[in-house]
Amino acid sequence: MKKLITIIPLVFLLCFASGCQTTTEVEPVDLTAAKNAVNTILDNYYEAMEAKDINTLANLLTDDGLYCGTDPEEFWNKKECLELLEGMFSNESFVFNVSIDKREIRIDADGNSATCVDQFTYEPISQKIPIRTIFHFVKIGDDWKNDFISWSLVPKNADLPKLDKALE
């Protein structure tokens, strides 16, 4: 009987405690809407590059981002990346006009980040070797911001021996 008297308040306390806990409802993420939003931002990025619009580009980048160029030594923070772009844009002959050959956008399941890959050829760099740009976006409030970009040349595997030979 003493055990029963001890257990009853304990059971009551546990039931009361579990009944008073707040439950959080997780709203489903609309991955299609997120993908469409990121696609629009990527399109805006290329339009800003063509228009030499440094302010739009600056607004897309996070302050703590990492931005990597095609050369193994090119690792930039936001300030350095924007300084490089400003230098390119100040050159009157600079023209950025590309047509995306391939685009893949992957939204993470929580809807708060995205990895994107664009591939295109940019003649001033190479007429034969495509550039693959990898972006990572994070959702900050209602805005998508870019915290990582890597621009890379992507030769065909069949061309690698020729490239190695040319570099001897």
Q: What pLDDT is recorded for position 18?
A: 56
3-state secondary structure the chain: CHHHHHHHHHHHHHHHHHHCCCCCCCCCCCHHHHHHHHHHHHHHHHHHHHHCCHHHHHHHEEEEEEEECCCCCCEECHHHHHHHHHHHHHCCCCCCCCCCCEEEEEECCCCCEEEEEEEECCCCCCCCCCEEEEEEEEEECCEEEEEEEEEEECCCHHHHHHHHHHCC
Long-range contacts of 69-77 (CB under 8 A, 24+ apart): 69/151, 70/125, 70/131, 70/151, 70/152, 70/153
Task: Just give the CATH number of 31-166.
Answer: 3.10.450.50
Q: Which residues contact 127 (CB under 8 A, 6 or more apart)?
A: 121
This prediction's pTM: 0.81
Q: Are 70 and 131 in contact (CB under 8 A)?
A: yes
Q: Which residues of 97-110 are buried (b: 16+ CB within 10 A; e: fewer)?
A: ebeeeeeebebeee
Per-residue pLDDT of the chain (168 residues; tens, 9 = 90+): 555 455 555 555 455 555 555 556 666 789 999 999 999 999 999 999 999 999 999 999 999 999 999 999 999 999 999 999 999 999 999 999 999 999 999 999 999 999 999 999 999 999 999 999 999 999 999 999 999 999 999 999 999 999 999 999
Beta bridge partners of 153: 131
Q: How many CB atoms lie within 10 A of CB 48?
A: 19
Closest CA to 155 of 120, 129, 123: 129
